[in-house]
Amino acid sequence: MTEKDATLFNTIQQMPNLRSGLADTLIAQIESGDLKPGQRLPTEQAIMTATGVSRTVVREALATLRAKGLITTRQGLGAFVANDPNPRFFSIVPNDLESIDEVLSVLELRLGIEVEAAGLASLRRTDEDIARMRERLDALDAAVEAGGYGSEEDFAFHRSILVATQNSYYGRLFDTFGSAMVPRQWARLDIMTSTERLRHAARMRREHQAIFSAIRDGDEAAARRNLRSHLTKSAARFEDLRDRANRSG
């Protein structure tokens, strides 16, 4: 490993999830051009020495980069930066969301997409769209009342709003993200008391109903406001989880 390589790897942030920290650093180096197309990466051992992480962490980080199309491996030669490492697609998978900060970043992205979609849906929705959203809301309520997380049903309700924009790109974008847009692993419903769970479900029902009603009634301003309020409150709950975890740690 060269002195420059060692300096680059020394910039790795000490994060709770080491694989994510190493992968993020490598991605940043590729995107900035510090690691150039076709360049051979240091060996696993060299990366381990420079970063202090385990071989398992290194291999998982490299697997993440391969899955994103940023590096290739050659038998007996090692890993190389892809000749064209600029990604042609974008996706979010559940494994990307390994910290509450990452979940908050996704919620911030959703705000940029869904608030606009809610406004468009209020102006363009059809009777079929309204029926679909109502059906998705009922399915979500039933899932939660049955003791489930309702993450798939929640995703389906939010997607039905995007479909109601009559702009197919909104729905296709959401499909790219998949259920990672509603990260079940961070819902923390399993640690709630029955009373807290019922209160949480009632709050979600009110927020979703307010969004649905505004879209149904063609109230663009209210649709945008209620969708923004819903996701902003979700972000606040995750921030509270993060702060409590930091205090207990």
What CATH number has the domain bearing residue 243? 1.20.120.530
- Residue 129, in any domain of the structure: yes
Q: Is 32 within the bounds of a domain? A: yes
Q: Are residues 111 and 36 in the same domain?
A: no
Q: Assess whether 66 and 121 both reside in one domain.
A: no
Q: What is the dihedral of CA 199, 201, 207, 211, to 10 degrees?
A: -160
Check whether residue 62 and residue 111 sit in a common domain.
no
Are 61 and 23 spatial neighbours (Cβ–Cβ below 8 Å)? yes
Q: Same domain, yes or no, for 56 and 131?
A: no
Domain that holds residue 154: 94-248
**Range of weakest confidence among 123-137, 144-158, 216-230:** 144-158
**Band (157; pLDDT cuts 50, 70, 90):** very high
Instruction: Answer whether residue 14 shows pLDDT above 50.
Output: no
What is the tally of structural domains in the chain?
2
Residue 196 located in a structural domain: yes
Report the b/e string of 48-84 with b at 16+ CB within 10 A: bebbebeeebbebbbebbeebebbeeeeeeebbbbee
State if pTM tops 0.75.
Answer: no
